[in-house]
Chain A
Amino acid sequence: MSNILTLQATVKKTLAISKKNTKIYYMKPPVIIFGLLFPSVMFLAFAIGRGMEPTQLTPSILGVAVLFTASAVGPLISPWERMMKTYERMLTAPISLWNNIMGDIISGFLFGLLISLAPLLVGWLFLDTTFTHLLPLTIALLLSVFCFSALGSLVSALPTEMPQNVMMLANLIRFPLVFMSGVFIPMQELPNWAQVLAYFSPLTYAVDLFRWSMGGNNFINIYFSYFMLLVFIFIFIIWCKAAHQKGIKIMY
């Protein structure tokens, strides 16, 4: 009974943090720029005039959207709160670092999931995309959004009070991921060294699963892709906690 009450309190506190983040951070300019405008520009830049097949285009755009939207909110929260002097108040509250991290990840996850529905809708309505494996697509979408949201929270552990520094670091990570993950050039067309590199990116597995779910060919075994997304989630969350702990020690 006591364990159930503890779990209930933990969930309540985590969701409260997530709700607070939703109210404060979804409409912040850096989130709008990197979470909405940037994926839209990427879509236009790669889609117009290239004559890509819907089986190629929609998964690619979805991959970029998932990466940028899910990791848009996380990097902003901790540095913004340190800058606004609300972070110290949180450190004195009866919440664990896990509550804080999971609250941040969930708010990034919900933002990413919501915005990622747009490219799916565009693909379905305007690009004749067919969703041949709807349930696997849903699972892949949920896992990848969670994965990149965790990546966003990991980046926010950078011990600084300047959000722009963290956003810069986030872009330094996100841009190479787009180009090393077979997003716009299918994996089978990449040179060998680039294929090896691609295995180290979670976006590779996400886009490969999207492609297969939308009637295209997968390059990697689908079960392995799901497994790798879970591995990346695990790594990002554990790393995230350690990095935030270290960040708190450095900052305070």
Chain B
Amino acid sequence: MTVIRAQNLAKTYGSVKAVDNISFEVKGKSIFGFLGPNGAGKSTTQRILTGVIHPDAGNVEIMGHSLFEEPIKAKQEMGVVPEQANVYSELTAWDNLMFIGEIYNMKRGEAEKRAAELLKLFQLYEKRNLKTKGFSKGMKQRLLLCMALLSDPQILFLDEPTTGLDVESKQVIREIIREFHQKGKTIFLTTHDIEEANMLCHEIAIINRGKIAVIDRPANLKQSIQQLNCLEITFDHRAPEENELWGLAGVEQVKKSGDSFILYATHPGKVIPSLGKLIEERDLELISVHTQEPTLEEVFLHLINNDEVYRKGA
């Protein structure tokens, strides 16, 4: 079931097309990563999807409700942690949550029960009666997540949820994201942290210059860019010259990485015979050899740098 449907979204600021006629769908019960370099249009897209910005063109459907024709119904289905958001620092953590409960039209008892559960889950229960002005960034971010989850929404929009947080807070938030997903909910995660997207997401969209460059599963993305396949080889103290490795059959690029060499090749297996020949001729000693798929970061950089328009099935 499609829970988010974006159709032909466009948003222009002056002469800059921040979002350029993009369309995509997010399936229910998935974690959807939305990646892109700075200024690519990812936050603008998320702000359109959550009703902060009205697009110049296009439509957004949330759980079948048009965000622009039935905004209250559509927004009732979502919990949001915007990138530039804060809690009410003059209110206590508890009052912040009760306020959210009221504007999401929750019954008082239900809101109190859920708030207590979430505060315990996010390790904030002991501090519930303190004004949040004394909270650290990590605590505020956890409280923002509590506020987003209070109404038990079907979709959770997270914009850079772990940016600037300590390792422990990042772990807590990632764990909660996984738990939320296990309950059959959908997460729309906007991030520039590729490793985070790799760890969490089932499907990833990469946006560049306002256009969607690719939408696919992380594993497919890694396999799709074959020229980024590589061999990582390590020799003992007698290593060949880099230009000798360039001459091996099938090698398209050579990079030095610490005491190893990375040989990029569309078909790494075809490099092995010529590598063996080189080792024999030069009497070299090979310590290790690994074939590697590209990392998501490499795929991301490849796509962004080549501005390649790739679509699944295209």
Contacts and interface: CB of A to CB of B under 8 A. Distances in A.
Interface of A: 9, 12-13, 15-17, 19-20, 23-24, 84-86, 88-89, 91-96, 99, 249, 252
A20 B104 contact: no
B99 A20 contact: yes
Given A13-B103, A16-B103, A20-B99, A93 B75 contact: yes
Contacts of A252: 47, 52-53
A12 B76 CA distance: 15
Given A23-B95, A24-B90, A86-B86, A92 B105 contact: no
Interface string B13-57: 000000000000000000000000000000000010011111000
24 contacts: A9-B105, A16-B99, A17-B103, A19-B102, A20-B91, A84-B86, A84-B89, A85-B84, A86-B86, A88-B47, A89-B85, A89-B86, A91-B50, A92-B50, A92-B51, A92-B82, A92-B157, A93-B75, A93-B100, A93-B103, A94-B75, A94-B103, A99-B103, A252-B47
Nearest to B157: A92
Interface residues of B, number: 32
B78 interface: yes
B303 interface: no
Contacts of B84: 85, 88
B134 to A, nearest CB: 15
The secondary-structure label for the interface of chain A is: helix
A147 B90 CA distance: 28
A99 B71 CA distance: 13
Contacts, number: 75
Interface in B172-227: none
A85 B132 CA distance: 14
Nearest to B92: A23
A34 B89 CA distance: 23
A88 B102 contact: no
Nearest to A100: B103
Contacts of A94: 71-73, 75-76, 103-105
B88 interface: yes
Given A94-B103, A94-B105, A88 B72 contact: no
B72 A91 contact: no
Contacts of B50: 91-92
Contacts of B95: 23
Nearest to B100: A93
Contact of B80 (A17, A20, A92, A95): A92
B91 A96 contact: no
Contacts of B88: 20, 24, 84, 86
Contacts of B80: 89, 92
Contacts of A96: 71-72
A235 to B, nearest CB: 25
Interface in B84-125: 84-91, 95, 99-100, 102-105
Given A24-B90, A92-B80, A85 B99 contact: no
A87 to B, nearest CB: 9
B82 A88 contact: yes
A88 B102 CA distance: 17
Contacts of B47: 88, 252
